[in-house]
Structure 1
């Protein structure tokens, strides 16, 4: 019988940063994007802990700019087509999402794993740019555009390696991470430092119980990690020899994408 789907990895929701106007507008857009149904002013303001009048003012501007629409009868808000023009510009001006999708499709089909392409945005978040689902017995509840914690799982070990932080700074970052089966800091740090030698990182059931995650970096000309690709599969099926072969395949794809 197929294995039960594992618990979803934590995905960060909308947040409000200290730069008020722009960060609040972005938080509203992210919140609306995360909800399939239109939302009332009261729900939006409470969810984001915004003063209702401030939230209404921002929503009115977003409506005028075509980013948000409001239903005349119910006064509920949802995203409008204006966001599509921005998304289209990203795709047209940056071929990476399309190229990484092709690579993810090939790896997923060849190895029967779920693959994810992510943009590395510092130590806060990874943004999912593309994914290809496996035919396996588990389902990963993440979608394009999702933000996931940057330092967790296999990809997090890669980000930590290239971050240039001291062991003390890494220890402080490690305390804030969330896992289903947390590794010790000593084990995690050893795995972070092994990225230099291996060129990839692996998480064996720490982030999601029963699931192995393999990740490889995509580097720019200055050897900085800008993106990463990850493969997820049932731990029992990813033997040591298969992991090494899969990593080699992923590294070849990553090298092509880096160009």
Structure 2
């Protein structure tokens, strides 16, 4: 059974609300071009191939050189992908390897607890994404696909991320109001649930993320004590009583403590 976490109308709304900054877009296009070109290129050639104003292209390249993302040869007057870009890619690869090392822990927890387990990662300030998941091999499970993204405040994990925000400010409330919740939920109730989660160390979403689904989540703290990852246990509503949910929340906190050594 699939737990649908992103509806088509949500995707369209997200796309329509995107704000693009053209110089940033052009910088990304230049980096992509240089990483795929296979050979150094002159500024004028890059500008022509990408249809960028030559002066603008030159200034972006100078900036990227200063940031170590691009290398410039004063002899050939050509640009190539820099060491800084390689280091950035290496960091992403390393993080992916760490997530893979976390997989056996998720699988073991899913099998022992008879739940679906998902590892969420914060992506910027407005969303989170499933980077790994595991289901119980001996029980009916809920499929949560890796790569699925949701608004940062949504679900049990969202209540943990929200604990790091000023919920009295205007922006969090606006973000909350844009979410298409599975069940009716007021902002006042949400705020109380965030406070409860912060106090006990784990959060719960009972049918608001998706009707019929209950999720419990705990944070994986970074060395700076920020919440960059969360782990969520997903099950059908009614599978556990209140004591069972509390026991599961505490067990998730233990799992997250183990994951700290793996992910950071």
TM-score, with normalisation over the residues of structure 2?
0.66
Q: Based on CA coordinates, which of the two structures has the bigger radius of gyration?
A: 2
Counterpart of 1:9 in structure 2 is: 5
User: How far apart, in 1, do the equivalents of 2:109 and 2:92 lie?
Assistant: 24
Aligned mate of 2:211, from 209, 212, 218: 209
Change (3 A) 1:63 1:106: same
Deviation sequence 1:17-60 (CA, Å, 0-9, x none): 4133765898xxxxxxxxxxxxxxxxxxxxxxxxxxxxxx99x9
Unpaired segments of 5 or more residues in structure 2? 39-87
Counterpart of 1:218 in structure 2 is: 220
Aligned mate of 1:231, from 205, 230, 233: 233
Q: Secondary structure at the match of 1:158?
A: helix
User: How far apart, in 1, do the equivalents of 2:35 and 2:93 lie?
Assistant: 24
Aligned mate of 2:256, from 247, 254, 257: 254
Unpaired segments of 5 or more residues in structure 1? 27-56, 67-85
Is the contact made by 1:6 and 1:208 (CA closer than 8 Å) also made in structure 2?
no
Number of residue pairs aligned between Structure 1 and Structure 2? 204
User: How far apart, in 2, do the equivalents of 1:25 and 1:208 lie?
Assistant: 39
User: How far apart, in 2, do the equivalents of 1:61 and 1:152 lie?
Assistant: 36
Counterpart of 1:158 in structure 2 is: 160
User: How far apart, in 2, do the equivalents of 1:102 and 1:175 lie?
Assistant: 37
TM-score, with normalisation over the residues of structure 1?
0.67
Aligned mate of 2:174, from 148, 159, 172: 172
Q: Secondary structure at the match of 2:161?
A: helix
Q: Secondary structure at the match of 1:241?
A: helix
Change (3 A) 1:181 1:65: farther
User: How far apart, in 2, do the equivalents of 1:168 and 1:89 lie?
Assistant: 34
